[in-house]
Amino acid sequence: MLLTPGPTAVPPEVLEALSRPVLHHRSPDFKLLFGRVQERLRAVFETAGDVLVHTSSGTGAFESALVNLLSPGERVLAVSSGAFGERWQAMARALGCDVRELRYPWGAVPDATEIEHAAADSGATVAVLVHSETSTGVVLDLEACAAAARSAGALVVVDAISSLGAVPLRTDAWKLDVVVTGSQKALMTPPGLAFVAVGERAWAKSREATLPRFYWDWERARAAQAKDNTAFTPAVSTVVALDVALELLLGEGLERAFARHVALGRSARAGVKALGLELYSPDDDSAAVLTAALTPDGVDAVDLRLSLRDRFALTVAGGHGDIVDRLFRIGHIGYVDVFDVARALAAIEVLLGEAGREVEPGAGVAAALAAHENAAAV
Amino acid sequence: MLLTPGPTAVPPEVLEALSRPVLHHRSPDFKLLFGRVQERLRAVFETAGDVLVHTSSGTGAFESALVNLLSPGERVLAVSSGAFGERWQAMARALGCDVRELRYPWGAVPDATEIEHAAADSGATVAVLVHSETSTGVVLDLEACAAAARSAGALVVVDAISSLGAVPLRTDAWKLDVVVTGSQKALMTPPGLAFVAVGERAWAKSREATLPRFYWDWERARAAQAKDNTAFTPAVSTVVALDVALELLLGEGLERAFARHVALGRSARAGVKALGLELYSPDDDSAAVLTAALTPDGVDAVDLRLSLRDRFALTVAGGHGDIVDRLFRIGHIGYVDVFDVARALAAIEVLLGEAGREVEPGAGVAAALAAHENAAAV
């Protein structure tokens, strides 16, 4: 059982769809399906514009944003407060851009006013924002931060890889120029597909951008998708699975899914604190994607994760960087309910007890369920 | 049922593997699996060197070869005799290379001596060869053509997307510098993964190549794969499926698989001719990947394909370019036996009869089975 912030657990209906005989991507059946998938993606992105489909991980789709928007040496502002923000800085540099960093310490929450100043001072034409920093659990105020970058004249590219479908992201209403996500997070599908919503300002800019591109070329993708086709052989079985997963998500309703994730965040935080652990992710409702916590002195987070896996068949995510020995992350996006969170808390309680920590039996689960009930009542 | 040259039909064991609960790509289970998959890939590529795994289509992996080997403006010789050779020419040009084309008419078989002269005359540092041109059914003499390009001083990049696992390709023995393939052809796995074997000369050249790269960066991939990991989230479920498919292929034995594909090609050609159709792919044992045929006057190939699909649930591939109304292609790579080919011939016979063509009942199937028996006896 996966309680990670991606890949996430996949519903059985989606796994079943994945295992159907393979469709041919040039067949009428696939066209019909792919037209529907494109409609559903637009609904989840809350956009009337294009959502391009790449067969790649989210990192690949992010590269498509940079190579379609930028020319060699062009200035980019990349905001980071964790591993993924730093990855986009490294990527933009590797692709030959002039990267200006607004680099926060890991776990900090980027601030809109600071972003506006940094964008204006740098004169960057493109600003890169990480909506949900999966390495730390921080979800920034995207509407405000994007408006700040835009008001300084920058196009806004959003890493929404672990946020889309989990927390509100309104592509058109918030005037987001480019939004990138992957199949394997709140979209409840195995990894292998990634999606890029491209707005009008981004299309205009892409026509002048000269970074070399072929596989990632947006025009080629748009031309094919206009005929419910793809430029290159897509991961067809994953598209079939995605169709089912998007139907489930839209059937639940986006607003209800967002409320569920807020409630799951409250549950996980309440439970973690009741177990006497220190929170690393923010202690507020913004932290609806994952709950990151630090193990107490004498309890190694790597050992804890391996024991959860070996003894209880439960996978949570580890830490990055300096705090790999202390940090673990419970993902609660996608196909997750409060009893999944409770199961993880119960298992962690067992392991903490065996490590000699004093924990009141059942305290984590009780706190999680109580917090969830309160959230549901709101 | 798919009788296309990719995506191909996937064995039920592989579909079952695909539908298992998703693994986390940083888990010990995945590492163990991925180590085994890398070993199996090396066996199928017949190389002791690196086989890098990209989450992409074959086109993406091909782009990785160009951006890791070349610098802007560098000269490339790209040999084409169909749609895919022409795609690589367009790609190399889009990426900013100085492309010299050795362009044959569609369906022609590239010649080693001509390749040697073209490579020498152009002074290209890299030569691009298409082992199996999926749009026409032509399989070139790769050992001779690669030696020719190499003798003129070029590194050899091979598109083996529809050939690897179907016909002999001996990466190390034939001193192939780079070999690219995809999961969805003779490797009997859904699309979504692509593989690049990189030899020592290619590694040396990649260290000097300056085309920008991040997602496709070979060094980053190699460093991760050395730890049985991937640089970015891979299509984990497709890796799980691939492991099963490679076990099936290696269990059959590569040489036996190659002989099976030769026999299937003989069957398909004998059957197609017995139905009175004109072959478009070569009429010899090189055409072991697919059999391309032209419909008779008055029979539209697009209609034929749609009828095969709608009435007999059988998908064959269409034509590209000018002869889309005449050409259809029966793929016989991967999870295919002679009775699958016979089924397609029987269905085509029904449709030809309905279109008013005189066909001796059962002639196609009988010829296919007879040719197969002769092949098996060799």
Q: Which residues pair with A129 in a beta bridge?
A: A158
Interface test with A, best of B20, B22, B314 (most A CBs within 10 A): B22
Structural class in CATH, domain A254-377: alpha beta
Average pLDDT, integer, range A65-91 = 98
pLDDT at B377: 64
DSSP symbols for B168-208: ---TTTTT-SEEEEETTSTT-S-SS-EEEEE-HHHHHHHTT
**Does residue B159 contact residue B180 with C-beta atoms inside 8 Å?**
yes
Instruction: Let me know how long chain A is.
Output: 378
Q: How many CB atoms lie within 10 A of CB B227?
A: 10
Measured between alpha carbons, how far is B378 from A49 in angstroms, rounded to an integer? 59
User: Does position A373 have pLDDT exceeding 90, yes or no?
Assistant: no
Q: Which positions in chain B touch A90 (Cβ < 8 Å)?
A: 214
Interface test with B, best of A55, A244, A329 (most B CBs within 10 A): A55
Of B9, B22, B94, the CB nearest to A2: B22
- Does residue B73 belong to the interface with chain A, where contact is any CB pair within 8 Å? no
Interface test with B, best of A24, A53, A64, A314 (most B CBs within 10 A): A24
pLDDT at A164: 98
**Tell me: the pLDDT tens digits for B325-377?**
999 999 999 999 999 999 999 999 999 999 999 999 999 999 999 999 888 76
Q: Which residue of A has its CA nearest to B54?
A: A56
In chain B, CATH 3.40.640.10 covers 11-251
DSSP symbols for B320-358: -GGGTTTEEEEE--SS--HHHHHHHHHHHHHHHHHTT--
Inspect the interface and report whether the beta carbons of A213 and B19 lie closer than 8 Å: no
pLDDT band at A323 (very low <50, low <70, confident <90, very high): confident
Average pLDDT, integer, range A57-68 = 98
- Does residue A319 belong to the interface with chain B, where contact is any CB pair within 8 Å? no
pLDDT band at B320 (very low <50, low <70, confident <90, very high): confident
In chain A, CATH 3.90.1150.10 covers 254-377
Place of tokens 């990426």: B95
Average pLDDT, integer, range B32-60 = 98
- Does residue A49 belong to the interface with chain B, where contact is any CB pair within 8 Å? no
Q: Which positions in chain B touch A58 (Cβ < 8 Å)?
A: 232-233
pLDDT at B375: 82
Q: Which positions in chain A touch B55 (Cβ < 8 Å)?
A: 55-57, 60, 191-192
**A contact residues 248-307, partner B, Cβ 8 Å cutoff:** 306
Of B184, B215, B236, the CB nearest to A59: B215
pLDDT at A293: 98
Measured between alpha carbons, how far is B271 from B277 in angstroms, rounded to an integer? 9
User: Does position B313 have pLDDT exceeding 80, yes or no?
Assistant: yes
pLDDT at A374: 85
**Does residue B316 contact residue B339 with C-beta atoms inside 8 Å?**
no
- Does residue A117 belong to the interface with chain B, where contact is any CB pair within 8 Å? no
Of B59, B72, B238, the CB nearest to A215: B59
pLDDT at B374: 85
**Tell me: the pLDDT tens digits for B300-309?**
999 999 999 9
Of A56, A217, A234, the CB nearest to B191: A234
Of B22, B94, B95, the CB nearest to A9: B22
Both structure tokens of A93: 């540099």
Which of left, alpha, beta for B330 (phi over 0: left; psi -120 to 50: alpha)? beta
- Does residue B232 belong to the interface with chain A, where contact is any CB pair within 8 Å? yes
Measured between alpha carbons, how far is A212 from A51 in angstroms, rounded to an integer? 21
Inspect the interface and report whether the beta carbons of A317 and B24 lie closer than 8 Å: yes
Interface test with B, best of A20, A215, A238, A244 (most B CBs within 10 A): A215
Whole-number average pLDDT of chain A? 97
Structural class in CATH, domain B11-251: alpha beta
pLDDT at A377: 64
A236 versus A376: which is more confidently predicted?
A236
pLDDT band at A74 (very low <50, low <70, confident <90, very high): very high
**Tell me: the pLDDT tens digits for A114-147?**
999 999 999 999 999 999 999 999 999 999 999 9
- Does residue A15 belong to the interface with chain B, where contact is any CB pair within 8 Å? yes
Average pLDDT, integer, range B181-201 = 98
pLDDT band at A320 (very low <50, low <70, confident <90, very high): confident
Whole-number average pLDDT of chain B? 97
What is residue B128's DSSP assignment?
Answer: E
In chain A, CATH 3.40.640.10 covers 10-251
Of B20, B192, B315, the CB nearest to A238: B192
- Does residue B48 belong to the interface with chain A, where contact is any CB pair within 8 Å? no
Average pLDDT, integer, range B147-161 = 98
Contacts of B85 (CB under 8 A, 6+ apart): B78, B79, B103, B128, B130, B133, B159
pLDDT at B373: 87
User: Does position A321 have pLDDT exceeding 90, yes or no?
Assistant: no
pLDDT at B200: 98
Inspect the interface and report whether the beta carbons of B235 and A27 lie closer than 8 Å: no
Average pLDDT, integer, range A82-101 = 98
Q: How many CB atoms lie within 10 A of CB A48?
A: 9
**Tell me: the pLDDT tens digits for A328-370?**
999 999 999 999 999 999 999 999 999 999 999 999 999 999 9
- Does residue B213 belong to the interface with chain A, where contact is any CB pair within 8 Å? yes
Measured between alpha carbons, how far is A1 from B22 in angstroms, rounded to an integer? 8
Inspect the interface and report whether the beta carbons of A55 and B60 lie closer than 8 Å: yes
User: Does position A376 have pLDDT exceeding 80, yes or no?
Assistant: no
Instruction: Supply the ipTM of this predicted assembly.
Output: 0.96
**Tell me: the pLDDT tens digits for B217-253?**
999 999 999 999 999 999 999 999 999 999 999 999 9
**Tell me: the pLDDT tens digits for A210-253?**
999 999 999 999 999 999 999 999 999 999 999 999 999 999 99
Q: Which positions in chain A touch B317 (Cβ < 8 Å)?
A: 24, 26
A10-251 CATH fold: Aspartate Aminotransferase; domain 2 (3.40.640)
